[in-house]
């Protein structure tokens, strides 16, 4: 069974053809429940997101800020497992036909088994993985299995990355490059870092694959700002915060759908 790396590439290319950035939403699996998380992913796509990153909740995250950590804690206390992450990918992809990636730290994959994880993700219809803490120089085993199963390997670059390092990272990656707009953890912010545009420019000089920007984008206006210079706009904490603030799970799902629609207008320049 081959994964959906091609679907991811085609989706990003179609957005570019329309003269706009793609909207990429992040939501953790198992939050507020496994079923509720699946409904939230579907709502994000139905509301206007082009791609979704499904987070694999982790007890010791290095990139996730307090909002996503709170959601991860709820999911972990609810007993979420890798099988639930795969189910989330499978059911959301089957319902929408959209490309869905998993964002995960390396330790859970290492313990689960690289071959097993990549085979199951491909079978579920997944498009690939974002691996924020896997160094490129230690990624050969992962990339071998990901390529065999038709999965994208998305690496994260940061404003601190030197040009030579950017070239090394982008040469090893596929699908798109995740450009972290600032140094630090995820979370909504009042403004998007001015470093983001420079990082996109430097990254683009090393690769032809799309460069998508995340960390800090929370409003339609910010999405529109980033869409001026990036191939994709990644939004996570703002979706999770809407769900945390909702009075019940159903309202949380509708809040995700509404925010996706607002952000979709932002990346399309329709504000």
* pLDDT, tens digit (0-9, with 9 covering 90-100), for 189-238: 444 557 889 999 999 999 999 999 997 888 999 999 999 999 999 999 99
The C-alpha atoms of residue 267 and residue 271 are separated, in whole angstroms, by: 9
Confidence of residue 108 (pLDDT cuts 50, 70, 90): very high
Closest by alpha carbon to 212, among 229, 192, 193? 229
* pLDDT, tens digit (0-9, with 9 covering 90-100), for 52-68: 999 999 887 666 778 99
Higher-confidence residue: 89 or 59? Answer: 89
18: annotated active-site residue: no
In order of 19, 29, 88, 166, 238, the CA distances from 37 in angstroms are 31, 6, 7, 34, 15
Name the β-bridge partners of 54: 27, 102
Instruction: Compute, in degrees rounded to 10, the torsion defined by CA atoms 219, 10, 157, 186.
Output: 30
Confidence of residue 183 (pLDDT cuts 50, 70, 90): very low
53: annotated active-site residue: yes
140 phi, psi to nearest 5 deg: -60, -45
Can you give the pLDDT at residue 1? 65
Closest by alpha carbon to 64, among 113, 114, 27, 35? 27
Choosing from 39, 50, 64, 91, the catalytic residue is 64
Q: Is the pTM of this model over 0.75?
A: yes
Output the average pLDDT for the chain: 93
Can you give the pLDDT at residue 120? 98
| CB 216, CB 190: distance < 8 Å | no
The C-alpha atoms of residue 4 and residue 102 are separated, in whole angstroms, by: 12
pLDDT higher than threshold 70 for residue 10: yes
Q: Please give the share of the chain, as a percent, with pLDDT higher than 90.
A: 86
Choosing from 39, 50, 53, 231, the catalytic residue is 53
211 phi, psi to nearest 5 deg: -115, 120
Half-sphere exposure of 62 (CA within 13 A, CB side): 10
Closest by alpha carbon to 261, among 20, 17, 44, 92? 44
| CB 213, CB 234: distance < 8 Å | yes
| CB 186, CB 64: distance < 8 Å | yes
The C-alpha atoms of residue 8 and residue 70 are separated, in whole angstroms, by: 29
* pLDDT, tens digit (0-9, with 9 covering 90-100), for 243-259: 999 999 999 999 999 99
Can you give the pLDDT at residue 271? 80
């Amino acid at each position: 069974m081959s994964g959906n790396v091609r679907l991811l590439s085609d989706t990003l290319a179609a957005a570019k053809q329309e003269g706009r950035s793609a909207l990429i939403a992040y939501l953790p699996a198992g939050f507020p429940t496994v079923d509720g998380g699946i409904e939230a992913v579907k709502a994000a796509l139905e509301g206007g997101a082009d791609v979704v990153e499904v987070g694999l909740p982790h007890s010791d995250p290095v990139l996730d800020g307090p909002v996503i950590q709170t959601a991860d804690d709820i999911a972990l206390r609810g007993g979420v497992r890798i099988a639930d992450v795969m189910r989330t990918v499978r059911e959301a992809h089957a319902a929408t036909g959209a490309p869905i990636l998993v964002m995960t730290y390396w330790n859970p994959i290492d313990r689960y088994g690289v071959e097993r994880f990549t085979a199951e993700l491909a079978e579920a219809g997944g498009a690939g993985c974002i691996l924020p803490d896997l160094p490129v120089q230690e990624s050969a085993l992962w990339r071998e299995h990901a390529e065999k199963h038709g999965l994208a390997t998305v690496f994260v670059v940061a404003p601190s990355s030197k040009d030579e390092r950017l070239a090394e990272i982008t040469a090893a990656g596929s699908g798109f490059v995740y450009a972290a707009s600032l140094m630090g953890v995820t979370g909504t912010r009042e403004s998007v870092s001015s470093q983001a545009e420079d990082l996109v420019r430097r990254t683009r000089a090393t690769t032809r694959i799309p460069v998508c920007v995340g960390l800090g984008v929370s409003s339609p206006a910010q999405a529109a700002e980033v869409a001026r210079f990036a191939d994709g706009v990644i939004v996570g904490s703002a979706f999770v915060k809407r769900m945390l603030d909702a009075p019940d799970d159903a309202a949380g799902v509708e809040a995700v759908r509404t925010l996706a629609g607002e952000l979709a207008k932002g990346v399309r320049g329709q504000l």
